[in-house]
Amino acid sequence: MERTVFIVGLGLIGGSIALAIRKEHNVNICGFDISEEQLKMALSLKVIDEAFQTIEEGVKKADLIILATPVTKTERLMREISTYELKPGAIITDVGSTKKRIVKEASCLKEKGVTFIGGHPMAGSHKSGVEAAREHLFENAFYILTPAEGTDVRAIIQLQNWLKGTRATFIELTAEQHDRLAGAISHFPHVIAASLVHQIAKIEGEDPLVSRLAAGGFRDITRIASASPTMWRDILLHNKESLLQLLKSWTNEMEHVKTLIEEESADEIFSYFQVAKEFRDGLPVREKGAIPSFYDLFVDVPDHPGVISDVTSILAQHQISLTNIRILETREDIMGVLRLSFRSEEDRERAQIKLHQEMYDTYIL
């Protein structure tokens, strides 16, 4: 008897999981999305085999139910799904960036004879929508599972088998541990990026020149501030406890830096940056983390007409796709710098090899 997977939310994450499951399993993949356009797109791209107009209809015969929705919606769906007819033994999981409240809410499903296991694939893209879905999106990424205490080990193994096509590295954490760690490495950096942008916006009121100066490096280091305001509102409210503690620690950290500057403690300031550099440089390079990676390659280019088209034609000849290209610096009589952005580490490596063969100097920051 053919097994069925039902996915609620057919965006980048839901669509990519569907493709990864299809790669490994001969199953019927069904889907629901509040956007009729996304639903039709998922069908036309063969991300799903069948579309349902209601969640109640879709969950009835599903062996695996994946809630690929924003965290506040996922929380509400727990209560909603608990009132529907469900297949005994079915597994339900989600993809939310916070886990504690969702896992707690999922306790209402126990009486239905199904198992909920919280999930968080720690990978993403700077694109959205089902048309951006890729079966390899989670390859080499961490996929966090947060089963509640007492969850049947067989159900956890079954879920990992369902998701083995993601080629992700599965890690089990408690919901509390997940939220604390995700808060530190993902949620809080987004708060900092947004606050930096707010600070520049206030300075602009006094001196409009700041926006032009911020167009380079500042814009790069605050990229994550361009993420969905709705999503980050919900994440901050869901992970309130961890973020308040992190804000307290950050305030203490900034007070320490303030003291170093006030006292002009040159050696300690140097040490502060040196320790940070050493720790940062020691972080894994090839593993995907909670914040989507930017696969950027910087290329020195001479001040010569046609050089940009030459670089792009080299990449095109070898079928290497760019996601973005930007001129960082070019002035008469000096070398300019191109920042080329790629979809994956593999594309960036291939581009670097091919450009080196054509005598271009490239580097990765």
Sequence spans of domains, the chain: 4-173, 178-281, 295-363
| CATH code for the domain defined by 178-281 | 1.10.3660.10
Nearest Cα residue to 338 out of 286, 290, 303: 303
Nearest Cα residue to 64 out of 6, 148, 18: 6
Show the tokens assigned to 224. 């994550």
Q: Give the residue, 329 or 96, on which the prediction is more confident.
A: 96
In words, the CATH class of domain 4-173 is alpha beta
What whole-number distance in Å separates Cα of residue 260 and Cα of residue 281? 23
Mean pLDDT of the chain: 89
pLDDT computed for residue 345 by the predictor = 79
The reported pTM is 0.77
Check whether 330 has a pLDDT greater than 70: no
pLDDT computed for residue 331 by the predictor = 44
What whole-number distance in Å separates Cα of residue 280 and Cα of residue 326? 26
What whole-number distance in Å separates Cα of residue 293 and Cα of residue 279? 18
State the DSSP string of 180-209: HHHIIIIIHHHHHHHHHHHHHHHHHTT-TH
Angle 55-110-119 (CA atoms, 0-180°, nearest 5)? 65
| DSSP reduced 3-state for 270 | helix
pLDDT computed for residue 324 by the predictor = 81
Over residues 2-58, the pLDDT tens digits come to 899 999 999 999 999 999 999 999 999 999 999 999 999 999 999 999 999 999 999
What whole-number distance in Å separates Cα of residue 171 and Cα of residue 57? 32
- Which regions of the chain does DSSP assign to beta strands (E)? 4-8, 28-32, 50-51, 64-67, 91-94, 115-121, 142-147, 169-172, 295-301, 322-329, 336-342, 362-363
pLDDT computed for residue 333 by the predictor = 46
- Which residues make Cβ contacts (< 8 Å) with residue 25, sequence separation at least 6? 3, 162, 165
Over residues 226-258, the pLDDT tens digits come to 888 988 999 999 999 999 999 999 999 999 999
Strands 295-301, 362-363: pairing kind: antiparallel
pLDDT band at 292 (very low <50, low <70, confident <90, very high): low
State the DSSP string of 8-20: E--SHHHHHHHHH
User: What values do phi and psi take at 103, rounded to 5?
Assistant: -60, -40
pLDDT computed for residue 321 by the predictor = 86
CA atoms within 13 A on the CB side of 292: 20
Check whether 215 has a pLDDT greater than 80: no
Give every strand in the sheet of 362-363, ordered side by side: 322-329, 336-342, 295-301, 362-363
Check whether 334 has a pLDDT greater than 60: no
What whole-number distance in Å separates Cα of residue 64 and Cα of residue 30? 10
Q: Report the range of poorest mean pLDDT among 25-39, 44-58, 280-294, 347-361.
A: 280-294
pLDDT computed for residue 289 by the predictor = 58
pLDDT band at 164 (very low <50, low <70, confident <90, very high): very high
What whole-number distance in Å separates Cα of residue 187 and Cα of residue 171? 19
Count how many residues are written for the chain: 365
Q: Give the residue, 291 or 76, on which the prediction is more confident.
A: 76
| DSSP reduced 3-state for 4 | strand
Check whether 284 has a pLDDT greater than 80: no
Does the domain at residues 295-363 carry the CATH identifier 3.30.2130.10?
yes
What whole-number distance in Å separates Cα of residue 298 and Cα of residue 321? 15
